[in-house]
Amino acid sequence: MARLQPLQDTCADDEDLRALRSHPRRLLLIAGALLSVLLLAALATAVWLHARSYEENRLQAFIRARTALDAQLTRHDASYARLVNMTEYAWRHRMDSDPAVLEAETRRYLADGQTLRLQQGAQDTAQLVLGLGTDHWPAERLHRYLALARTMSVITRMAFNGPDAEAAGAAYFLDPTGHLVVINEGLDDSGTGIASAERDRQGTFGQLRAYAHLLPPASAADTVPALRASHGRGEARIGFAAHPVTGRASLVTVFPAHDGRRGLGVFVAFEPTGGLAQVLREASDSNLQVMAPNGEVILGSRSAASDGVVGTLHDAGIWWHPDDGIVKYRRNGRRVIASLVTGTDWALVTTVGWRDMLADGTPMLYLALALWAGLMAGLWGLLAWVDRQVLAPAAARAMQVYANEALFRSLIQMTPAGLCLVDIEQRVPQVQNELARRYAGAAERSGVALYDALVDGYAEALSRRDENLDIREFQVFYPGGRGAVATHLLVNATPLFRSAGRVLLCTLQDLTARVELQVQKDQLRDEAEAAHRARSRFLAAMSHEIRTPLHGILGHLELFARSSLDIEQRARLGRITQSADSLLLIINDVLDLERAASGRLELDSAVFEPTLLLERVALLYAPLSQGKGVDLDLLVDGSLAPRYRGAADRVEQVLRNLVSNAVKFTASGRIEIRAVSSRHPHCLRLEVADSGVGLSEVQQRRLFEPFAQADASIAGRFGGSGLGLSLSRQLCHLMGGEIDVHSTPGVGSVFGFDIQAQAVETTVDAALPLQGRGVLLYSATVTWREELARRLRAWGAKVVVLESLQQIEAVASCRALPLVIFERNQRAARGTVDGFRGRIVRVRGDGPLRAAGPPGDLRVSAYSAAALLEALQADTADEGIGGTADPGGDMETPATMS
């Protein structure tokens, strides 16, 4: 039984897992079904509310249409009442009864066969009087009716206006006996009207009497329907019949006129039904119909739904018990709304069906269906997502929990590192593999409790800041027994929570071999550093020992150069001096490179002027460049400050290296030294551009490596050790800058470097040396034109730049000003300045460092701004103070400058 207990526990666990998986799914299905029913009920409610709203809107539209129709008929009744009142008034007061006129009209009436046309005025309505047997009437009666006919042309125009004028134009008046009729022009249109000659007089009067309802219909085939009064005798009657002339369906209105208790006559008017139809269309766009009691549709169109409506209206008693209410009932699934039209026996009817409701609300119905379908899809999609993403993973995790315990123990035993679970409170292992057990046994034999060390080490590591807050790393070591090496263990620990309490999961890795290897590496590094220090001391000592006799050699060579030597001896002496200078430069570069590598190279900060810095370097290498026929130019950006603070000596050293290389690798063309603004803040940029051999991209990448040159032929062709650019890069790094190169093979190169330098603010106490003085400047070289103009303006001079020397003749007012001319190592044409009265200062690359030359025509070095200022400030009497100095005598060589 004991053996079967684990199997029973496993079966119970499986049953619980299946229940945990199936019960939430059933709950989801039930909730989804309930929500689906609620959504369907909401959809049905929305459709029912739309039906109620649609039916209410149709009812309101029906009421508006009935009100508009009643208002239209009431307005017509008012117009007809005005016509009757005015006619009765004219009859009683015998208006327009001139005996002579009446007698003449009577004779004309009888002479024309009881026919007479009358019109009171040009704007009045023309009237046609017809008689049948009126020639036997008393003269008085005939006179009064003819006078009334004339007056009616005015009355008709006055009684009707606006939209009612059409009804007045198609009307006639019939006397009570039915033998005399007064017809408006609307019924007598150019012989085609009711009184045309082709018509039978007797038949015409029979038709007119029938419209006036004076005689009953002659037979069942009579097309003139009967007209029925709605409010009793003596009031207007409204009916529907064909127009007597056009035959179109028209609204017929019959209204009597009286003379006291006696009848005066009957008015009959025809009006197209389009006016009433327009009123209904403007009031409502529903399918409205106006129906007669016999089922005939007076206004609107007959439809299949209106076939049985009349019988239903009779059953509802709408004509037998008339009132002002609205009758509503259902028939064949359609709702019928009906009401009598005021003053008539017509019924205004409309029907409402499900199809109408659906057609009216099709967009909303589609939207509701789409919303319902979307909600249903979203609901069941959400339930499916919950089942897949929440319930199923939860059940899977629950199943995994049961398997994790056994898997965890297996992994602990199989892992190649020591693994253990240590109870933090009791400091005893709960689970550990064989390797961790061996570590614990070895530590115990050395007198160290490993589990206590693990808990204490984790507590200490926990106090340190670490990005990974869960896992802490620390080391535990214990000494080896009997002279063995101490064992070092790397521990990664993280806390866990179990049913028994908080435990510490630890991984143990043996670092003993790694520690021994690190010790060996440290020993080798110390030995290498000792060797490096020894080499540095050796290089320093050797450099000092070599430079001491070398300085003596250079001094004696300089003294030897001042003695009397022939040309060949002087040439050999120059080569010896150049070789000695090169050797000294190499020794200095090696020493500086070693100092930079060891971090012992010092930078002295001092205030310097970029202009003087460029001039010193240019003066140093000008003889070499001029000897090769290469032009050496310099240019200082006008936006730079006059003075800067930085490592001036090291800046000049880097600049000398770059200019030396430019002179070395440039066979022809020009070299330009520039001081420009740096794109980096608080920095100064210096550049050296040449037209030398140029460099490829591969050569540029290895150019700044120690003892490296562009290619193997450089040393043989141009000499050099390959240390200058490497040292220059290290110096630039120490000065907080960078060196770069841009080069094109066969075109030339531009070397530039940025160094940190702070502009020094200067306060000018005295006036500028050339303040307010005018100076003429001519230079065919753009670089020197800009540089000389910058120098002159910095001294306060007003510079007039000449495009050519011929402009001096055109500017007469400037002929007394000093003229500064830059000459590219050859004298400019003197013919152009022979008549010039002012002082001429010739600036040349091979000029002297102090102003020299005949009075009024001085020469100065292009690389000495002080010499140019001295020449411009000299008085006229002292213009020859400089004498005739040797152009190249004051120039120094690279060896003397170093």
Decide if 782 contacts 808 (C-beta within 8 A): no
Q: What is the pLDDT of residue 710?
A: 52
d(CA 667, CA 664): 8
Backbone angles phi, psi at 582, to 5 degrees: -60, -40
Query: CA 359 from chain center: how many Å?
Result: 43
Give the range among 4-8, 206-210, 387-391 with minimum mean pLDDT.
Answer: 4-8
- Tell me the two tokens of residue 865: 């701004």
Q: What is the mean pLDDT of residues 354-381?
A: 80
- Name the average pLDDT for the chain: 77
Q: Is the dihedral of CA 541, 544, 547, 552 positive or negative?
A: negative
- Tell me the two tokens of residue 523: 């020993």
Question: How many Cβ atoms from other residues are within 10 Å of residue 492's Cβ?
Answer: 17
Q: What is the pLDDT of residue 582?
A: 65
Q: Extract the runs of DSSP E, i.e. beta strands, from 711-832.
A: 738-744, 748-756, 758-759, 774-778, 798-802, 819-823
Q: What is the mean pLDDT of residues 285-305?
A: 68
The candidate with the shortest Cα–Cα distance to 840, out of 819, 866, 859, is 819
Q: Is the pLDDT of residue 721 over 60?
A: no
Q: Is the pLDDT of residue 798 over 50?
A: yes
pLDDT digit string (tens) for 489-511? 889 898 888 877 889 889 888 88
Q: What is the pLDDT of residue 877?
A: 36
Question: How many Cβ atoms from other residues are within 10 Å of residue 217's Cβ?
Answer: 13
Q: Is the pLDDT of residue 717 over 60?
A: no
Q: What is the pLDDT of residue 716?
A: 45
With tokens 């008012």, the residue in question is 78
d(CA 216, CA 224): 10
Backbone angles phi, psi at 503, to 5 degrees: -130, 165
Q: What is the pLDDT of residue 764?
A: 60
Q: What is the pLDDT of residue 5?
A: 44
What's the DSSP call for residue 391? I
Question: How many Cβ atoms from other residues are within 10 Å of residue 746's Cβ?
Answer: 9
Q: How confident is the model at residue 553 (pLDDT cuts 50, 70, 90)?
A: confident
Q: What is the mean pLDDT of residues 412-434?
A: 84
With tokens 């529903």, the residue in question is 286
Q: Which residue has the higher pLDDT, 114 or 8?
A: 114
The candidate with the shortest Cα–Cα distance to 640, out of 610, 596, 671, 605, is 610
Q: Is the pLDDT of residue 647 over 80?
A: yes
Q: Which residues contact 476 (CB under 8 A, 6 or more apart)?
A: 450, 453, 454, 457, 488, 489, 491
Best-predicted range by mean pLDDT (471-475, 539-543, 785-789): 785-789
Best-predicted range by mean pLDDT (278-292, 699-713, 770-784): 770-784
Q: What is the mean pLDDT of residues 371-387?
A: 86
Q: How confident is the model at residue 7 (pLDDT cuts 50, 70, 90)?
A: very low
Q: What is the pLDDT of residue 851?
A: 87
Q: How confident is the model at residue 70 (pLDDT cuts 50, 70, 90)?
A: confident
Q: How confident is the model at residue 876 (pLDDT cuts 50, 70, 90)?
A: very low
Q: What is the mean pLDDT of residues 429-451?
A: 86
Q: What is the mean pLDDT of residues 377-382?
A: 86
Q: What is the mean pLDDT of residues 623-635?
A: 90
Q: Is the pLDDT of residue 684 over 90?
A: yes
Q: Which residue has the higher pLDDT, 585 or 237?
A: 237
Q: How confident is the model at residue 630 (pLDDT cuts 50, 70, 90)?
A: very high
Q: What is the pLDDT of residue 598?
A: 62
With tokens 């030995």, the residue in question is 527
Q: Is the pLDDT of residue 893 over 60?
A: no
Q: Is the pLDDT of residue 567 over 50?
A: yes
Q: How confident is the model at residue 221 (pLDDT cuts 50, 70, 90)?
A: very low
Q: Is the pLDDT of residue 472 over 90?
A: no
Q: What is the mean pLDDT of residues 174-180?
A: 88
pLDDT digit string (tens) for 42-67? 888 888 887 778 778 878 887 888 88
Q: What is the mean pLDDT of residues 193-214?
A: 72
Instruction: Please give the angle made by the CA atoms of 869, 871 and 873, to the nearest 5 degrees.
Output: 65
Specify the 3-state DSSP secondary structure of 377.
helix
d(CA 842, CA 823): 7
Specify the 3-state DSSP secondary structure of 262.
strand
Q: Which helix (H) or strand (E) holds 108?
A: helix 99-111
- Tell me the two tokens of residue 478: 């214990």
Using DSSP bridges, classify how beta strands 748-756 and 683-690 pair: parallel, antiparallel or unpaired.
antiparallel
Q: What is the pLDDT of residue 740?
A: 92
The candidate with the shortest Cα–Cα distance to 458, out of 507, 401, 416, 509, is 507
pLDDT digit string (tens) for 117-138? 887 777 777 888 999 888 889 9
Q: How confident is the model at residue 381 (pLDDT cuts 50, 70, 90)?
A: confident
Q: How confident is the model at residue 312 (pLDDT cuts 50, 70, 90)?
A: low
pLDDT digit string (tens) for 136-148? 899 888 888 888 8
Q: How confident is the model at residue 880 (pLDDT cuts 50, 70, 90)?
A: very low
Q: Is the pLDDT of residue 898 over 50?
A: no
Q: Which helix (H) or strand (E) holds 240?
A: strand 237-242
Q: What is the pLDDT of residue 304?
A: 44
d(CA 316, CA 331): 12
Q: Which residue has the higher pLDDT, 353 or 190?
A: 353
Q: What is the pLDDT of residue 882?
A: 40
pLDDT digit string (tens) for 159-175? 766 555 555 557 888 88
pLDDT digit string (tens) for 655-681? 988 998 899 889 889 999 999 999 989
Q: Which residue has the higher pLDDT, 315 or 420?
A: 420
Exposed, middle or buried, 315 (CB in 10 Å: 0-12/13-18/19+)?
A: exposed
d(CA 278, CA 313): 25
